[in-house]
Chain A
Amino acid sequence: MGMTITEKILAAHAEKDRVSPGDLINVKLDLVLGNDITAPIAIKEFRQIGVDRVFDKDKVAIVPDHFAPNKDIDSAEQCSMVRQFAHEQDLTNYFEVGRMGIEHALLPEQGLVLPGDAVIGADSHTCTYGALGIFSTGVGSTDLAAAMATGETWLKVPSSIKFIFKGHLNPWVTGKDLILYTIGKIGVDGALYQAMEFTGEAISSLSIDSRLSMCNMAIEAGGKSGIIAPDNKTLDYVEGRSHRTFTAYHSDEDAAYAATYEWDVADIESQVAFPHLPSNTRGISDVGDVAIDQVVIGSCTNGRLEDLRIAAQVLKGHEVDKRVRCIVIPATQDIYRQAMKEGLIEIFVDAKAAVSTPTCGPCLGGHMGILAKGERALATTNRNFVGRMGHPESEVYLSGPAVAAASAIAGKITSPEEL
């Protein structure tokens, strides 16, 4: 019996020839990650362990991105504590405001995570890096503390679900639509504790940015990880970003899967998730009349260059509806700079959208676009739980960047085809 890509990566990091779903293993980690919300608890727990230094100062990344730039005094105190720890430990990969980006856009961009790696992060969207053929998963602060001290973590080897996407994508459909469609089909615990392996010609046709969007939301189906086997696009993407050697793993033909789904993407149109679960999806043609107060284009799901290019393509020559606030958040400083070079920022400003420095900000109801009671937002983010973007009686709808930009112009949820 062969192994899946996930089993191969985990076996290699547990120094075993093979592993099987359900095995409890100790895994050596290539990178561990924390942010300004999760690192403060991890640092307190780290102090209890009885070691002075982190296991490897090059392999602990800390990114203050959630409530940074500091939104208030309490957040400033949390960022200050994290900063002091990073300096005390001389961490190579601490990213201060100005160098910082949203962690799951920043780490792949900076070449800190490479194909074949095993990564944990104290942030649920750490599963994003699977797009590069990496095993990566979210954990809590105490797991982060233990990993910072030892460079290892315990894991149960997940069984894998195979998702085969056949055919050619419809216009405006991106990785975000495919993952929303998937979650709509299997539910928010449809892949609980499992690895979601995405494959098929439609996946091969996706850009790396779109693949990162897809794996980012594996957690919204309860998944432990999302993964896409590396191909030439992956190798082109990582080239020049790191001097570290890496291994591209692929699933064996006879690997075992807990389930297999096969969909023709010709049947998949742009998707919108209605409140209050990411699984509450509908095709854009079934949305009906939904007026909105705010649009957010950004986040670890959709704040990358491809997303900004799509949003700008839709917004160019138009203005945001007068009743709508449209907030665009490039996910990293490099993305911001490139968006400036390409004239995208000018298009956003001309369209009367507000452009922000990188931050998770509104996605988790932190800052930079909080909703009042009764307000409704359409966001390219990843969660639409009750109160996610502000008041418990506000609403969040989720979509990709094309529908978000078109909706900002129309003042209601709209397909770019209808403009």
Chain B
Amino acid sequence: MIYKGNVWKFGRDIDTDAIIPARYLKTSDPAELGKHCMEDADPEFVHKMKKGDIIVADENFGCGSSREHAPISIKAAGISCVIAKSFARIFYRNAINTGLAILESAEAVDGITAGDEIQVDTDKGEITNLTTGKVYYAKPFPEFIDNIIKQGGLISYVREKVKTPVG
């Protein structure tokens, strides 16, 4: 997939309570969760961002709770992908499982400024800063995870697996 959008930058240790505060976990409806995306990090975020925009953050993005509501909220708000120096492990799994595109690249995070327009080719892991012309490459996914992504997420992967007759 190729995504193009403007960048919103965040610092390190953006936790899942900042991404989607627990007070909104009374529902799992993506549209409702999307309305409160990043609210406790930036209360105006969903009003300022445009569909297709991209979040760029420092280390340990998505630390804290296991709530899958976090990547669901980011996706439903219209963010096309998240680039970070590193991701907390449960968020990393949840993003893959819910089909939110994530990329790890410290160089890209350091080389991109808030408001830059960037293009991301998730197949190649290529991040192009259209504002500066610089190109960065994300750490490739392990093959096993890449297979899950290519099969359309964990549920499709497991659906195929349980269909296969045993023995």
Interface residues of A (CB under 8 A from B): 24, 37-38, 40-41, 44-45, 48-51, 66-67, 72, 74-75, 78, 121-124, 126, 138-143, 145-146, 149-150, 154, 156, 188-189, 192-193, 219, 222, 224, 277, 364-366, 383, 385-388, 392
Contacts and interface: CB of A to CB of B under 8 A. Distances in A.
Contact of B90 (A140, A156, A188, A365): A140
Contact of B159 (A49, A138, A385): A49
Contacts of B68: 38, 41, 122, 140-142
Given A149-B158, A364-B65, A387 B88 contact: no
B119 interface: no
Given A37-B67, A50-B163, A387 B21 contact: yes
A385 B17 contact: yes
Given A48-B155, A139-B93, A387-B40, A124 B60 contact: no
Interface of B: 13, 15, 17-18, 21-23, 25-28, 39-41, 43, 59-60, 63-69, 72, 86, 88-90, 93-94, 97-98, 142, 144, 153-155, 158-159, 161-163
Nearest to A37: B25
A392 B39 CA distance: 9
Given A140-B93, A385-B64, A387-B18, 9 more contacts: A37-B69, A41-B72, A140-B67, A140-B98, A189-B13, A383-B15, A385-B18, A385-B40, A386-B41
A150 B158 contact: yes
A72 B60 CA distance: 33
Nearest to B160: A50
A142 B90 CA distance: 11
A150 B144 contact: no
Q: Most B CB atoms within 10 A — which of A67, A78, A383?
A: A383
Nearest to A81: B28
Contacts of A365: 17, 21-23
Q: Most A CB atoms within 10 A — which of B18, B65, B154, B163?
A: B65
Nearest to B96: A142
B38 to A, nearest CB: 11
Contact of A38 (B18, B41, B66, B163): B66
Contacts of B15: 383, 385-386
Given A40-B28, A138-B66, A141-B68, A364 B60 contact: no
Nearest to A72: B26
Given A41-B28, A74-B26, A222-B89, A50 B162 contact: yes
A277 B68 CA distance: 21
A38 B69 CA distance: 9
B99 to A, nearest CB: 10
B22 A188 contact: no
19 contacts: A41-B28, A41-B68, A44-B28, A48-B155, A50-B159, A78-B27, A124-B66, A126-B66, A139-B66, A139-B90, A140-B93, A145-B158, A188-B60, A192-B88, A366-B23, A383-B64, A386-B15, A387-B40, A392-B40
Contact of B66 (A74, A122, A149, A385): A122
Given A146-B154, A386-B17, A392-B43, A222 B27 contact: no
A72 B7 CA distance: 37
Contacts of B27: 74, 78
A189 B58 CA distance: 12
B29 to A, nearest CB: 10
A232 B59 CA distance: 40
Contact of A154 (B144, B153, B159): B144
Contacts of A141: 68, 94
Contacts of B60: 188-189, 192, 222
A222 B93 CA distance: 14
Which A-B residue pairs are the 10 nearest by beta carbons?
A74-B26, A142-B97, A140-B94, A140-B68, A189-B60, A364-B22, A124-B66, A141-B68, A387-B40, A385-B17
B154 A222 contact: no
A68 to B, nearest CB: 12
A49 B158 contact: yes
Contact of A193 (B40, B41, B43, B89): B89
Contacts of A121: 66
Contacts of B17: 364-365, 383, 385-388
Contacts of A156: 142
Contact of B63 (A72, A189, A366, A386): A189
Contact of A386 (B18, B66, B72, B144): B18
Contacts of A219: 64, 90
B97 A188 contact: no
Given A72-B26, A75-B26, A143 B154 contact: yes
Contacts of B72: 41
A222 B63 CA distance: 7
B120 to A, nearest CB: 23
Q: Most B CB atoms within 10 A — which of A24, A72, A385, A388?
A: A385
A67 B28 CA distance: 14
